[in-house]
């Protein structure tokens, strides 16, 4: 009986020791692996929103090409002159930026002569100066808590987001940001003008009929990090 008891006690002790070792290993793995998995998730979201921006940019390219072509039975949306969603004409502004430099002033950080960042971008999160921007797929598809002042705008007879949505199938619906606070926004810098700096570093504007509009598309989650520029010059 004593021999059996000693065997039982040793067996029980070994099981408890093994359990303690296993628990310690699991705790270590949990603390070291969690940040790595979190990083993988963040990278996945970043890649997804970049892919979405590329997809929207491709839609814009197709839209501009369709509008540039003459009207025909095969291209009923042709207008003979290129324009972008939300523009009645190619030289109309959508949003509150008239030059690309003005956009960069808001979405690019301030750097010194060596390229070191001295101040973060003004518009680097969803609650920034969104009132200067317009919604790609309509504000009704955005949580109002994360609009940041972004609005819809119709310069012509059709809302910009309706023109964007026409390039998606009904089953697709609006393209959504992978970030809870994100949604896609844009501005259009009008064509028909060209800007340059003179010898006194003063910005000058001249007429340029061959200069097309420029669209900047961004994810409102962080416009300074996730944006693309589509130029039609």
Q: What is the pLDDT of residues 91-134, one digit of tens each?
A: 999 999 999 999 999 999 999 988 898 999 999 999 999 999 99
Give, in degrees to the nearest 5, the angle at Cα 179 between 178 and 182.
110
| pLDDT tens sequence across 27-75 | 655 555 555 555 558 899 999 999 999 999 999 999 999 998 888 877 7
Instruction: Report how far residue 79's alpha carbon sits from residue 64's, in angstroms, rounded to the nearest whole number.
Output: 10
CA-based end-to-end distance of the chain? 95
Q: Looking at the chain, how many residues does it have?
A: 233
Instruction: Report how far residue 137's alpha carbon sits from residue 150's, in angstroms, rounded to the nearest whole number.
Output: 11
Other Cβ atoms within 10 Å of 160 Cβ, number? 25
Quick one: which of 185, 230, 187 has its CA closest to 212? Answer: 230
Helices within 69-184 (DSSP H only): 100-107, 160-165
What are the angstrom distances between the C-alpha of 142 and each of 22, 26, 35, 59?
46, 40, 30, 20
Instruction: Report how far residue 137's alpha carbon sits from residue 64's, in angstroms, rounded to the nearest whole number.
Output: 17
At 194 the pLDDT is: 74
Enter the pTM of the model. Answer: 0.77
Helices within 69-174 (DSSP H only): 100-107, 160-165
At 219 the pLDDT is: 98
- How much of the chain exceeds pLDDT 90, in percent? 52
| Residues 50 and 63 sit within 8 Å (Cβ to Cβ) | no
Instruction: Report how far residue 191's alpha carbon sits from residue 49's, in angstroms, rounded to the nearest whole number.
Output: 27
Which residues sit opposite 215 in a β-bridge?
Answer: 188, 230
> Greater confidence, 35 or 229?
229
Helical (H) or strand (E) element with 205: strand 203-207
């Amino acid at each position: 009986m004593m021999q059996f008891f000693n065997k039982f006690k040793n067996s029980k002790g070994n099981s408890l020791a093994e359990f303690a070792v296993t628990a310690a290993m699991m705790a270590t793995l949990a603390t070291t692996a969690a940040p790595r998995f979190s990083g993988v998730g963040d990278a996945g979201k970043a890649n997804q929103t970049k892919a979405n921006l590329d997809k929207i940019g491709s839609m814009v390219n197709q839209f501009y090409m369709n509008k540039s072509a003459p009207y025909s039975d095969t291209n009923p949306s042709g207008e003979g002159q290129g324009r972008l969603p939300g523009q009645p004409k190619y030289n109309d502004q959508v949003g509150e930026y008239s030059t690309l430099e003005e956009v960069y002033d808001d979405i690019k950080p301030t750097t010194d002569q060596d390229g070191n960042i001295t101040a973060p971008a003004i518009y680097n999160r969803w609650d920034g100066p969104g009132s200067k921007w317009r919604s790609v797929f309509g504000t009704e598809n955005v949580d109002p808590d994360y609009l940041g002042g972004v609005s819809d705008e119709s310069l012509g007879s059709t809302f910009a987001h309706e023109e964007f949505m026409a390039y998606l199938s009904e089953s697709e619906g609006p393209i959504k940001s992978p970030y809870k606070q994100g949604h896609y926004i844009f501005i259009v810098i009008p064509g028909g003008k060209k800007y340059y700096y003179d010898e006194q570093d003063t910005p000058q504007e001249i007429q340029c009929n061959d200069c097309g509009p420029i669209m900047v598309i961004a994810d409102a989650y962080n416009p300074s990090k996730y944006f693309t520029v589509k130029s039609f010059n």
